[in-house]
Amino acid sequence: MENTQHLSHSADSAVTADNDAARDDAPAVAADDPAAALASRVRSRAGTALASTAGRADYGDAADAGALEREARAATRRVAGLSTELEDVSEVEYRQVRLERVVLVGLELPVSGAHPVPGRSGFVGPNGAAGSQDAETSLRELAALAETAGSEVLDALIQRRDHPDPATYLGSGKAKELAEMIADNGADTVIVDGELAPSQRRALEDVVGVKVVDRTALILDIFAQHAKSREGKAQVELAQLEYLLPRLRGWGESMSRQAGGRVAGGQGIGSRGPGETKIELDRRRIRQRMAKLRREIRAMAPSREVKRGSRRRGPIPSVAIAGYTNAGKSSLMNALTGAGIMVQDALFATLDPTVRKAEAADGRIYTLTDTVGFVRNLPHELIEAFRSTLEEVAEADVLLHVVDAAHPDPLGQIVAVHAVLADIPGAMDVPELIVLNKADLADAVTLAALRTRLPDAAVVSARTGQGLPALRERVEAMLPRPEVAVDVVVPYSRGDLVSRVHADGDIDTVEYVEDGTHVVARVDAALAAELAAVDAG
């Protein structure tokens, strides 16, 4: 059964108290116009990863962290006035890029109750979806993603159905209503909050008469804009081509058959065949480009493996920072290590992993790695393309899972991150420490409730420094300890070994005697063997 009218959730909708509170923050609209009220709420930042910092111009964009890169991104201005009408326009003149005017579309589908994730804190519904997430919250996040991609959100539509329509995703009646909305608003693009089958996208485009894209294409576009390293650009292009390949569409003469076989050479009877159509030629070229990109990414892998292996040979413990987009991962990395990574109050501001050295209070060295942010329903193509990057999480000794404590649905963020980590072999086995960031923006009642649900979580503010010393202590306590106990006297001529014990081992006592340096410590097996070989005791 479908409900063919704009929805402002009624009493029978399953809406959490957090989402109700978020809606109260939306701009006031006439109560007798539910469609306008829905569009107003969707266009607000309430309920999205940007909600906690909305209206805080002083929060997030640190002057000393990536100011030049933010300025370069802002130099590309988006202007109105260009229309697409189903054409993939890429005009760029004087760094002015087309500003798309979009209408958002979402489905409200029945969901079952949430259940715990084994071994993790958080809850998950069917297919990894958060049980507390409703269609409107998801559509608000889609609006934030659309604005990050440089679009102007004009209106929004939610359809309540038992399942997506196999033809037009929405159903014929609602698709016609969407076409009227597009004409009234002068929109040139529709963004669907879900993944469309190629046939659904074509059928919906035929009804509404403008370009239709889905959530996956939107996220891929944002990644394409923000990728800056050679590996990152190759990974994003590969993901885009994997998404595009089954969605190629022929138009008019581009589907006409070309001469094939030996016909072009004048071979005559018995040699004529249908040949290769234009769309088949495009598919073949895309497959060739994908194969080349995979080879390039594999060629870049040894460099990452060498760096990772050099840290392992130390062995130097590693800590990976992961979390929902805009939760404050880069800010926390800067606060802990002074890395100077670009910080911006935006979704997917940083994509490329950054590794920095840190030193524990007892002198041990370990690394901190900042990874790409996650989001609900992260495209599978991105997970596959960024597998080499995401493996940093699986290879880590400790996982710092950063959560925005001021977000209206922090538990939903945890669920979304765990859903992505579950697709990375070994990532769910890494010891996890949940870090509730932005404590300076969260109210005391919310923090108390979160600490009740997540008793082992650390509460910090990367911006003010609140809780950072305690976080460092907890991270250092979770780092792996060397296994082999040694009690040796190292000759003074081998000060390099003593230095390695200080850097990589866990020292109990150090005493300077006549024959050398008397060291009692715990080290790894390789270093223990070297120390035993030079023991002068």
Tens digits of residue pLDDT in 284-323: 888 999 999 989 888 887 766 665 555 555 567 889 998 8
In terms of pLDDT, which residue wins out, 266 or 368? 368
Q: How many CB atoms lie within 10 A of CB 182?
A: 22
User: How do strand 77-79 and strand 100-108 relate by DSSP bridges?
Assistant: unpaired
Q: How many CB atoms lie within 10 A of CB 162?
A: 9
Phi, psi of 528 (to 5 degrees): -60, -40
State the average pLDDT for the chain: 74
pLDDT given at position 273 = 52
% of the chain at pLDDT higher than 90: 11
Burial class (CB in 10 A: 0-12, 13-18, 19+), 385: buried
Three-class SS state of 505: coil
> What does CATH list as the number for 316-478?
3.40.50.300
Which of 6-15, 137-146, 476-485 is predicted with the least confidence, judged by mean pLDDT?
6-15
Q: What is the pLDDT of residues 417-469, one digit of tens each?
A: 898 888 888 888 899 999 999 988 888 888 899 889 999 999 999 888 899 99
In terms of pLDDT, which residue wins out, 82 or 236? 236
pLDDT given at position 35 = 64
Q: Is the pLDDT score of 93 beyond 70?
A: no
In terms of pLDDT, which residue wins out, 6 or 57? 57
- Token pair for 407: 């977000």
- Token pair for 285: 């070229």
Residue 486 and residue 523 in contact, taking contact as beta carbons nearer than 8 Å:
yes
Which of 99-103, 176-180, 413-417, 467-471 is predicted with the least confidence, judged by mean pLDDT?
99-103
pLDDT given at position 401 = 93
Three-state SS string across 327-388, please?
Answer: CCHHHHHHHHHCCCCCCCCCCCCCCCCEEEEEECCCCCEEEEEECCCECCCCCHHHHHHCHH
Q: Is the pLDDT score of 101 beyond 60?
A: yes
Any residues with CB less than 8 A from the CB of 324 and at least 6 apart, and which?
49, 373, 374, 375, 402, 403, 404, 407, 413, 416, 417
Residue 145 and residue 373 in contact, taking contact as beta carbons nearer than 8 Å:
no
In terms of pLDDT, which residue wins out, 487 or 375? 487
pTM, two decimal places? 0.69
Closest CA to 205 of 184, 186, 178, 245: 178
Query: What is the 3-state composition of the chain as percent helix, strand, coil, each rounded to the nearest 5?
Result: 40, 20, 40
pLDDT given at position 146 = 87
Which of 150-154, 166-170, 452-456 is predicted with the least confidence, judged by mean pLDDT?
150-154
Q: Which uninterrupted H or E stretch holds 183?
A: helix 172-185
Three-class SS state of 260: coil
State how far the alpha carbon of 327 is from the alpha carbons of 16, 48, 139, 360, 496, in Å: 21, 11, 19, 25, 41
Which of 90-99, 105-114, 381-390, 392-401 is predicted with the least confidence, judged by mean pLDDT?
90-99
Q: Is the pLDDT score of 95 beyond 50?
A: no
Alpha-carbon torsion 516, 521, 526, 528, what sign? positive
Residue 273 and residue 263 in contact, taking contact as beta carbons nearer than 8 Å:
yes
Q: Which residue's entry shows tokens 């116009």?
A: 33
Which of 105-114, 496-505, 517-526 is predicted with the least confidence, judged by mean pLDDT?
105-114
pLDDT given at position 112 = 53
Furthest CA-CA distance within the chain: 99
pLDDT given at position 503 = 75
Alpha-carbon torsion 258, 261, 263, 264, what sign? positive
pLDDT given at position 475 = 92
Q: What is the pLDDT of residues 69-81, one digit of tens each?
A: 555 555 554 555 5
Q: Is the pLDDT score of 356 beyond 80?
A: yes
- Token pair for 266: 């004048």
Which of 187-201, 302-316, 503-517 is predicted with the least confidence, judged by mean pLDDT?
302-316
What CA–CA distance (Å, rounded) separates 79 from 92? Answer: 11
pLDDT given at position 10 = 32
Which of 78-82, 182-186, 318-322, 391-395 is predicted with the least confidence, judged by mean pLDDT?
78-82
